[in-house]
Amino acid sequence: MLKPGELAPAFEMADQNERAIRLSDYKGKKNVVLFFYPRDFSPVCTLEACSFRDRYSVFQALDTEVIGVSTDGVVSHAHFASKYNLPFSLLTDDGALRTLFSDVNAPEFLQGRVTFVIDKTGRIVEVISSVFDASRHIEDALTKLRSEQGHISND
């Protein structure tokens, strides 16, 4: 698993709208919260995605883009994003992106939910790994982003 201080690997993938998303597009402009989750429409994953949605304006105010990643296909992501009004990109990963970021030797259920907070320079500043506590990912990411930018608000 990549650790804080390491550079995030470059990637380019299509999102649910078949738009190319490149990590390099954000470099120097925005922080990125890249969250890997197991499945569209599963209860905990839906809670996590909707929690990111509900706090999306706070992430945006902290110059941060949110990007979700799972193995679900573009059609599933499009339905998931539409049904829950998700304002951020969802990427379909065949396992290649997860391999770049995390331990592929871990059992799949342990690989399922991990979030990387990446600063504007492309460096990982926080890794949040909690399989069942989806809300922790959102709160820990916001805490780290605020501390990096000197904000102390609890929006």
Cα–Cα distance between 107 and 50 in angstroms, integer?
26
pTM of the predicted protein model? 0.91
Q: What was the pLDDT predicted at 110?
A: 46
Phi, psi (deg, nearest 5) at residue 125: -110, -15
Average confidence (pLDDT) over 46-69: 97
- Point out the residues that are catalytic: 45
Average confidence (pLDDT) over 86-97: 94
pLDDT at residue 103 tops 80:
no
Burial code (b: 16+ CB inside 10 Å, e: under 16) for 77-99 equals: bbebbeeeebebbbbbbeeebbe
Residues 6 or more apart whose Cβ sits within 8 Å of residue 43: none
Q: pLDDT averaged over the chain?
A: 90
pLDDT at residue 111 tops 60:
no
**CA dihedral angle for residue 18, residue 9, residue 36, residue 115, rounded to 10 degrees:** -130
pLDDT at residue 109 tops 50:
no
Sketch out the chain's domains with CATH numbers: 30-149 (3.40.30.10)
Cα–Cα distance between 111 and 47 in angstroms, integer?
18
- Pick 108 or 68 by higher pLDDT: 68
Which runs of E-coded beta strand occur in 5-63? 12-14, 20-22, 31-36
pLDDT at residue 153 tops 80:
no
Q: Report residue 144 as tokens.
A: 């780290």
pLDDT at residue 18 tops 70:
yes
Among the listed residues 15, 26, 106, the one whose alpha carbon sits nearest the alpha carbon of residue 59:
26
Q: What was the pLDDT predicted at 135?
A: 84
